[in-house]
Amino acid sequence: MVFASDSFRGRETGTPDERRAAAFLVGRLARIGLDPAGDSGYLQRVPLVRMRLGAGTRFAVQARGVAAPGRLVTGLVPLIALGDRASSPRPHVEGELVFAGYGVTRAGGGDDNPAARCATAGSSLLPRRWPRDDHPQLLAGARFSAMIDVDRTPVESYNVIAALPGRDPDLQRSWVAFGAHYDHLGILPAVRGDSVAHGADDDGSGSVALLAIARAMRQAPRPRRSVLFVWHTGEEEGLLGSAYFASHPVVPLDSIVALINVDMVGRNAPESLYVVGLGVAPHGTSRALGGVVDSVNASLAAPFAFDRAWDTPTNPQRIYSRGDAFPYAERGVPIAFFTSGLHADYQQASDEPSRIDYSKLAHVSQLLYQVGEALANRDARPR
């Protein structure tokens, strides 16, 4: 899979590497013969702002009532943005210090315990008797202060969008949409000499699946409805590209009868596939779509065993709200989000093309093609 090779350097949002990946997709789409559907050919410009911590950033713990400057603390990574719907964090805060526990728990101890990797005995951020005393508590006599200095730089990124017009005059102004994200994490700290976050499964697998589906649909008899293909940018940075498309759609959102989102579909058991969104999407908008998905799957020579464990608002993985289908579902578009699940190489440099199960990837692509074809040729929307 060339899309996840070292030459793309991890496809980080807002970098020349991401633009190289976008150009790769554009070249393939032009060769397939799909129509450009962005605001600049196949590209939809997504204006972003890159925020980085500036030189004035400082964290300190001070003994209460002591006038000394306090003990500087390193290794902290503050959240400098909380999303579009939240107010920005304050640049300067000061207050009593609370140890809240580890926040994340894993089975076992030693290296499997996050605290064993990132906490150091004697740290001013830990209870005095840690690790024997590790319950949440106020750290008496300590006061924390933080000054955040943020550098903001405008960055232009791109969604890649292509269209296959439908043949039915009565249905061609309605759309079946396919989505995947083509960005990844860029360059990571080197592990065994490898620092490129290849993102072969996340989401190189979904990106090339969409190309395969687009090519197959272009070569087949044209469907009645039109079909839209969207490769989103900025998923790894917080669904930036999908949120931008949902608020600046290139076709009316209410003309999209369904979004089929594809993210990480090339790993794990060959017959297993998670389906998310059919039950958890607001107001039951995706339940009828679920009937279409189940019917098409049952018609395959080798149907998938669908796992719906993540299709619930109470699942701690929060897969539904972490995927690019989420901004669409929030605006009433029926969605089906397909993934083969997490694995040990998730967001690691080891997520390499050699680890992809290409037979499974082809099988998933066949299912999604047939779901899209069924939706594009049926008389009614899935309501």
188-199 tens-digit pLDDT? 999 889 999 999
Q: What single-letter amino acid sits at 227?
A: V
- The pLDDT confidence band at residue 65, using thresholds 50, 70 and 90, is low
Task: Kindly tell me the burial class for residue 43, based on how many C-beta atoms sit within 10 Å of its own C-beta (0-12, 13-18, 19 or more).
Answer: buried
Domain membership flag for residue 289: yes
- The pLDDT confidence band at residue 273, using thresholds 50, 70 and 90, is very high
255, 323 in Cβ contact below 8 A?
A: no
Q: Which of 148, 182, 203 is the last residue of a domain?
A: 148
Q: What's residue 84's pLDDT?
A: 60
Choice among 102-106, 284-288, 304-308 with the minimum mean pLDDT? 102-106
Question: How many angstroms separate the Cα of 218 from the Cα of each of 32, 164, 257, 304, 381?
Answer: 7, 7, 20, 25, 22
Give bridge partners of residue 63 from the DSSP assignment: 142
Which tokens in the block code for residue 33? 């013969």
Does one domain contain both 158 and 144? no
Domain membership flag for residue 218: yes
- The two counts, helices (H) then strands (E), for the chain are 8, 15
157, 241 in Cβ contact below 8 A?
A: yes
Does one domain contain both 369 and 346? yes
229, 248 in Cβ contact below 8 A?
A: no
Q: What is the C-alpha separation between 353 and 358, in angstroms, rounded? A: 9
Does one domain contain both 189 and 208? yes
Does one domain contain both 111 and 160? no
pTM of the model: 0.84
39, pLDDT greater than 60: yes
What pLDDT, in 10s, does the model give residues 216-252?
Answer: 999 999 999 999 999 999 999 999 999 999 999 999 9
Domain membership flag for residue 383: no
Q: What's residue 325's pLDDT?
A: 98
Checking DSSP bridges between strand 272-276 and strand 305-307, what pairing results, if any? parallel
Q: Which of 148, 176, 197 is the last residue of a domain?
A: 148
Domain membership flag for residue 106: yes
Does one domain contain both 268 and 227? yes
What pLDDT, in 10s, does the model give residues 70-116?
Answer: 788 887 878 777 666 667 778 899 999 999 886 544 333 334 444 44
Does one domain contain both 304 and 179? yes
Residue with more model confidence, 311 or 317: 311
Does one domain contain both 300 and 255? yes
Q: Which of 93, 126, 148 is the last residue of a domain?
A: 148
29, 214 in Cβ contact below 8 A?
A: yes
Q: What's residue 117's pLDDT?
A: 42
Domain membership flag for residue 268: yes
Q: What's residue 323's pLDDT?
A: 96
Q: What's residue 258's pLDDT?
A: 98
What pLDDT, in 10s, does the model give residues 242-265?
Answer: 999 999 999 999 999 999 999 999
Does one domain contain both 130 and 181? no
Does one domain contain both 360 and 223? yes
376, 223 in Cβ contact below 8 A?
A: yes
176, 376 in Cβ contact below 8 A?
A: yes
Does one domain contain both 255 and 197? yes
Does one domain contain both 64 and 161? no
Residue with more model confidence, 315 or 253: 253
Does one domain contain both 193 and 324? yes
CATH number for position 281: 3.40.630.10
> Which has the closest alpha carbon to 1: 233, 202, 208, 179?
208
Choice among 149-153, 212-216, 256-260, 372-376 with the minimum mean pLDDT? 149-153
Question: How many angstroms separate the Cα of 38 from the Cα of each of 16, 184, 245, 290?
Answer: 19, 21, 10, 29
Domain membership flag for residue 382: no
Q: Structural domain tally of the chain?
A: 2
Full domain range(s) for residue 232: 2-51+154-377
**Segment 186-192 long-range contacts (CB within 8 Å, at least 24 positions apart):** 186/9, 186/10, 186/11, 186/12, 186/15, 186/17, 187/9, 187/10, 187/12, 188/10, 188/348, 188/349, 190/349, 191/348, 191/349, 191/350
